[in-house]
Structure 1
Amino acid sequence: MSTSDGEETVKWDLRFLELAKHISEWSKDPSTKVGCIIVGEDREIRSTGFNGFPRGIEDTDERLNEREKKYPLICHAEENAIMHAARIGVSLKGCTAYVTWPPCNRCSRSLIQAGIKKIVIPSGVEIPERWNEEFDLSKSMLSEANIEFIII
């Protein structure tokens, strides 16, 4: 790959991360907003997702603000993007996922099973310490499954 091809790829990666950031703002979660864009090999957007409750589940202030009520209900951005693609019959095999946060182990499982080949996240994301162990496991899973993991 020539330098210009590499620069072009990084340019598109940054564009899709910016779009994922925009989509993250759709989340009603007051503490963490995460967005995900899944893109095919021709740079076509196959699916999008943000963290939020499933369709038809009311997102009350009480549910959103109390972790013990929120966590069992919430879908992560990657899960939402994968489930949306399944709902509309779109294959994600061989695609790239652009996510505004590192994927947790639960989302890594789903991304691997969906056939995602590459995951791109932005650098400089501030992650609460309570997530470090989970993200370390996630990185290990992605490496073992030969999923390219890029931080830009």
Structure 2
Amino acid sequence: EPGNTGPTEEEKHAPILNVGRKRISKSGNWTLLVYLLLPEDIVLGTLIEHVDYVVLSGVKTITERDINTKRDDYLGWTDYFMATAFLAAKRSKDPCTQVGACIVNEDKKIVGIGYNGMPIGCSDDEFPWSKRKDCNSLDTKYLYVCHAEVNAIMNRNSKDVKNCTIYVGLFPCNECAKVIIQSGIREVVFMSDKHAHKVETIAAKRMFDAVGTKYWQYTPKNHQIVIDFREINWNAMNQMPSPNTSTKQEDDNGRL
């Protein structure tokens, strides 16, 4: 309203915005803006539509970065491999539980990725996804779905997975444990052990213990890793080399 001197949207939400609008870097006519939100905050789309980054509290904030020195906020190996498993899980059609697995060799190379789903050739639209216990077992998913661990092993791009490590969102069941052991995988890194009380999980651990397969629960440094496809253009700079930095220079006579 004319003459209204009430608080602006930004002022009203000032308690929510931990650092508010912040000028991070400037080059030419562009400015990088950041909002740091508390974990429990909702994303205020209309308020931050022109902001380049939204950073969650507890995650290292974007600061002025020296582009001539190594970054120190890159992903560690364990975070990277577990995040890869979780990304693979996004491909699962299972309406209840989406699990991904990532197999890594001794050289820290990914050699297999998989997620839980129907066998190749078995239609995701025709086979059942139900987990109901009060119906015919043939009408539930349990007799058909291939677990992430098995698919990752079958999808391997190496001769074998002997002495490899498998990163998986959920502790393997007894059937997957058999395949893991038979394939020669020597270490299991898992995120959740929510089925620890089930006989399938107890049996899996019993087999792992018997053969010496190491298993341990992953504790993430951060609760989430955000993939933002826009980050590749974070500095809005021309990535092409300038003429005066080319490895080959012309001399005064135009010769290389």
What residue identity is the alignment partner of 1:127?
Answer: K
Which amino acid in structure 2 is aligned with residue 114 of structure 1? S
Q: Out of 205, 216, 219, which is 1:150 matched to? A: 216
Determine the structure 2 residue equivalent to 1:76.
147
> Which is bigger in relative contact order (C-alpha 8 A, separation at least 6)?
1
Task: Give 2:62's aligned residue.
Answer: none
CA deviation string 1:77-126 (max 9, x = no partner):
011111222xx55310010000000000000000000000100012xx36
Alignment coverage as a number of residue pairs: 138
Q: From the superposition, tell whether residues 31 and 126 of structure 1 become closer, same or farther in structure 2 (CA, over 3 Å).
A: farther
Aligned position for 2:251: none
Select the structure of larger CA radius of gyration.
Answer: 2
Residues 46/89 of structure 1: CA separation in 2 closer, same or farther (3 Å cut) = closer
Match in the other structure for 1:105:
174
Residues 54-80 of structure 1 deviation map (CA, whole Å, 9 limit, x = unaligned) = 111101276123553311111000111
1:25 matched to 2:96: no
Answering whether residue 116 of structure 2 is matched by residue 51 of structure 1, we say yes
**Alpha-carbon distance in structure 2 between the residues aligned to 1:102 and 1:22:** 17
> How much is the aligned-residue C-alpha RMSD, in angstroms?
2.0
Given the two structures, how large is their TM-score scaled by the length of structure 1? 0.82
Task: Check 1:42–1:128 CA distance in 2 against 1; reply closer, same or farther (3 A cut).
Answer: closer
- C-alpha distance in 1, partners of 2:151/2:207? 20
Q: Which residue of 2 aligns with 1:5?
A: none
Query: How does the TM-score come out when normalised to structure 2?
Result: 0.50
Distance of 1:29 and 1:18 partners within structure 2: 19
Could you tell me which runs of 5 or more consecutive residues in structure 1 were left unpaired when the two chains were aligned.
Answer: 1-9
The whole-number CA distance in structure 1 between the counterparts of 2:118 and 2:204 is 23
Stretches of structure 2 that go unaligned for 5 or more consecutive residues are 1-74, 219-256
Check conservation: 2:89, 2:99, Cα contact below 8 A.
yes
- Which residue is 2:81 aligned to? 16
- After superposition, the Cα gap between the structure-2 partners of 1:14 and 1:54, relative to the gap in structure 1 and judged at 3 Å, is same
Say if 2:205 is the partner of 1:139. yes
